[in-house]
Amino acid sequence: MRIRKLFSQVEEIQEEQGRRVGRPIRRVVTAAVLENEYAGRWQEDLSALYGLGRDLGQQLTASALQLLGGEAAIVEAYGKGAIVGTSGEVEHAAALLHPLFGKAVRARLMQALAVMPSTVKRAAPGAVLDVPVHNILDPWSFDHFDAVSFSIADAPLPREIVVALVLSEGGRPLARIQPQH
């Protein structure tokens, strides 16, 4: 599959509800807009997309870490997501986000253990994707349950897929919800 374009977004949260958040929290989205070779036709076996997902996981992680200054140790939370254009199937996006994508990301972060949360949907260009994120070590860290939103004005076109990775330096700003047992 050909990559038409790469996209990145860096968000730095310094204040929430009029309160300083302590240390600023940076959250990065890196995404690739790909041609969807399977759009408009049925394909039973989508396993060829798994390796491409692994390669995208490596590439998007490298880009995201560069935007965060190159230091993997500062990443506390992550998530992945994809939008398939209207001529494709949600399953095409899911195949790219196969566990090989997450394995590639965790390999670059080294300390990461938790399964990455993910989401996929079919939509037209400019659709907003809310990518769920949680802690890279503890999937039950309530302070890290969050989502990061982004959109690309001209993607995905009907025969494209947007594949995205989110890395975050922290959890929700001013998080204070405690689990009840």
pLDDT surpasses 70 at 181: no
Q: What does residue 160 show for φ and ψ, rounded to 5 degrees? A: -130, 170
Give the per-residue pLDDT at 139. 87
Write the CB contacts of 20 (distance below 8 Å, at least 6 apart in sequence). 14
pLDDT digits (tens, 9 = 90+) for 38-81: 999 999 999 999 999 999 999 999 999 999 998 899 999 999 99
Contact assessment for residue 146 and residue 139, using Cβ atoms and an 8 Å cutoff: no
CA distance 47 to 70: 31
Give the per-residue pLDDT at 36. 97
**C-alpha distances out from residue 127 to 7, 69, 157, Å:** 14, 29, 11
Q: Where are the alpha helices (DSSP H) in the chain?
A: 48-67, 90-96, 99-109
Note the pTM of the prediction, 2 decimals: 0.94
Two tokens, residue 92: 């095409």
pLDDT surpasses 80 at 178: no
Residues in the chain: 181
* Across 100-120, average pLDDT: 94
Give, as one character, the DSSP assignment of residue 73.
G
